Amino acid sequence: MSSIYDFTAERMDGTSQDFADYQGKVLLIVNTASKCGFTPQFEGLEALHEKYKDQGLVVIGFPCNQFGGQDPGSNDEIGAFCQKNYGVSFPMMAKIDVNGSDAHPIFNWLKEQKGGVLTDGIKWNFSKFLVGNEGQVLDRYASTTKPEAMTGDIEQALASANNQ
């Protein structure tokens, strides 16, 4: 696979999302969890989505239960939680694994493109990948990186996309 546009994923509602639909957009892909110390980052992610969606940013959440069992609910329960508690309006995909033999191919590819510190594996919930408008990974951020701390990188990626 050569770009993010080569992948598909299941949305929370069970429909298929072809990532080619996002061509030309800047993507912020995040593995999320509903019962994590970092869960309040949904608020910052939604703020980024609202601020930059008209300029071409799409935040995409992938719920994952691999870290401390912190997203045990069904897709419907997770979606309702995100909407009710954080007003999430950005696309949320169906729950996946991000590490191991059952890891979703998108996350295998993301990890290959931007390795982590010490290991390429995802270390915890709310790891983030910024993907440029040509489908390539620009940067990777740790769980501890707050969404608002990525504003400069997002603006730079959007400016680059809009200057092409």
Active site residues: 36
What is the rounded CA–CA span in Å between residue 4 and residue 20? 8
**End-to-end Cα spacing for the chain:** 24
CA 114/CA 140 separation, integer angstroms: 6
How far is residue 126 CA from its own chain's centroid? 8
Strand partners of residue 140? 129
- Cα separation, 159 vs 164, in Å, equals 9
